[in-house]
Amino acid sequence: MANGPRYKVPMRRRREGRTNYHQRLALLKSGTLRLAVRISNSYISTQMIELGPVGDNTIASTSSKDLQQYGWNAPTNNLPSAYLTGFLLGKKALSMGIDKAILDVGIHSGTKGSKVFAVHQGAIDAGIDSPHSEIAFGDWERIRGGHISNFAESGGPKLHNDFDLTTLPNHFDEVLNTIKEASL
């Protein structure tokens, strides 16, 4: 580790790899709400965040756990649940009068077709105006869970907590329609 009179210790969250302050400053300077996406081992959490005088204020939030209220029985940490979580947040934000946001990926890398971009695509499809590139979004069949269904049919595990993974694309369509028809 470096030492000496000129060495400056980085801020704690930077040392821990939890915050990229250069990226955060650019997002804050934009002046628009941030669509923050955070992914854990079990769930996907999304929030609409605005900068307040003392700190950040969360305006709207959803988690992939909230999808169970709309009939989602599949796993809550995959690409289809990421899209549905983003779509649900987009609908919730529109009902609160929020129609514009900028994506805040946090420490996640911007990999094409990732869960972060699936959440972003879901929010955009719900009606949120957000700067984006179509190149970053994944294939629609993959977002519906076709790759998971194909893997289950070709010899992979067919069940996950008593849910038949081969029916995932149809289940995705049903839940998406339920969310579209729901009033928030």
Residue pLDDT, tens place only, 136-166: 998 999 999 999 999 999 988 888 888 999 9
Q: Which two tokens stand for residue 82?
A: 């990421």
Contact 69, 88 (CB under 8 A): no
User: Residue for token digits 């983003």?
Assistant: 86
* 67: nearest Cα among 111, 110, 122: 122
Q: If pLDDT is split at 50, 70 and 90, which confidence band does 15 have? A: confident
Mean pLDDT throughout 78-92?
Answer: 97
Contact 46, 65 (CB under 8 A): no
By the 10 Å C-beta count (0-12 exposed, 13-18 middle, 19+ buried), 182 is classed as: exposed
pLDDT score of 2 more than 80: no
Contact 111, 135 (CB under 8 A): no
Mean pLDDT throughout 83-91?
Answer: 98
| Torsions phi, psi for 126 (to 5 deg) | -75, -20
Q: Within 10 A of 174 (CB to CB), how many other CB atoms are there?
A: 14
Q: Which CATH class is domain 20-181?
A: alpha beta
Contact 167, 69 (CB under 8 A): no
| Torsions phi, psi for 38 (to 5 deg) | -130, 135
Q: What is the pTM of this model?
A: 0.90
pLDDT score of 109 more than 90: no
Distance CA 184, CA 111 (A): 32
pLDDT score of 106 more than 90: no
pLDDT score of 81 more than 80: yes
